[in-house]
Amino acid sequence: MQSQLQQLKSMTTVVADTGDIDAIRQFAPVDATTNPSLLLKASQQERYRPLLLEASEWARSRGGDDQTRLDNMTDKLAVLIGKEILQIVPGRVSTEVDARLSFDTEATIARARKLIALYDEAGISQDRILIKIASTWEGIRAAEVLEREGIHCNLTLLFGFAQAKACADAGVYLISPFVGRILDWHRAHEADADFSGDRDPGVRSVSRIYQYYKQHHYDTVVMGASFRNIGEIQSLAGCDRLTISPALMQELEQSTTPLERRLNPDNAVSDDARASLDETAFRWAMNEDAMATEKLAEGIRNFAADQLRLEKLLAEIQ
């Protein structure tokens, strides 16, 4: 009998939500995704010290003021770890733009181009890279420009339906709607509610987006992210992609219970009419969605904080 992880791989592209090379090698995902928090965690492991040293030496050789050197260090480290991951996975790795640029379209575009150039210098073609950008209005506009240049993007920190609609209209390659963080918000605000199974608000959010995209023939890939338990993953079996932590992949690997396909493009039905959002409509929709607004802001702050911790760690490297 196949494990649930193997069953899931037969209907969904499994992506590793980690920068841990050993875990990626163990679970053999197609793609992998990183973020400042995962890079910070990986960088604290002794096996990654040579990469930290290489990033630090490279940045110092480039010169510039202190912040420029730190930016260069973190970007170079992200690319070095991405390159290591790409030696294992057959598909793509997602590399994130500094979260502090989330409200600056032009700066996001420039940083994305820089990351792609660094990968190119490392011998990695851009068709193996996804640039991760927060799903702000400014981030979505940056992704729209980058997609036209052939630089594919992964729009992250996506919590609301308005974000999903705007990303699809912008021609974004892939979105990462979060599941567990949506559940966290609702648990904090409705402590006595039953959020088990299909009642999980994060599962319902991703399912709604998936049905909308398939019903209206959008090409944007839906990749559920940020899971709190394997029940959420099981409820989204059949989604285009799911990015899963090593701990949850281990749980799926240990179970041989038959896994039912829950999402299928052939029978997708959406109650949401296809509609585009201009900036005013987008911002109003986000204003009306307290959960999406709060979790997006919180996610950007947390990624920015981990970016600063990573910079501090790199600055201390000798």
3-state DSSP helix/strand/coil percent for the chain, to nearest 5?
60, 10, 30
| Whole-angstrom distance, CA of residue 129 vs CA of residue 173 | 11
Q: Is 9 a catalytic residue?
A: no
* Contact (CB, 8 A) for 201 and 195: yes
Coil vs helix vs strand at 100:
helix
* Contact (CB, 8 A) for 160 and 285: yes
Report the Cα 130 to chain-centroid distance in Å: 9
| Whole-angstrom distance, CA of residue 130 vs CA of residue 138 | 18
Look up residue 75 and give its amino acid. Answer: D
| Whole-angstrom distance, CA of residue 77 vs CA of residue 58 | 10
| Whole-angstrom distance, CA of residue 129 vs CA of residue 123 | 12
Look up residue 195 and give its amino acid. Answer: F
Exposed e or buried b per residue across 81-99, where buried means at least 16 C-beta atoms within 10 angstroms of its C-beta: bbbbbbebbeebbbbbbbb
Q: Which of 76, 132, 214, 295 is catalytic?
A: 132
- Hey, which residues are catalytic here? 132
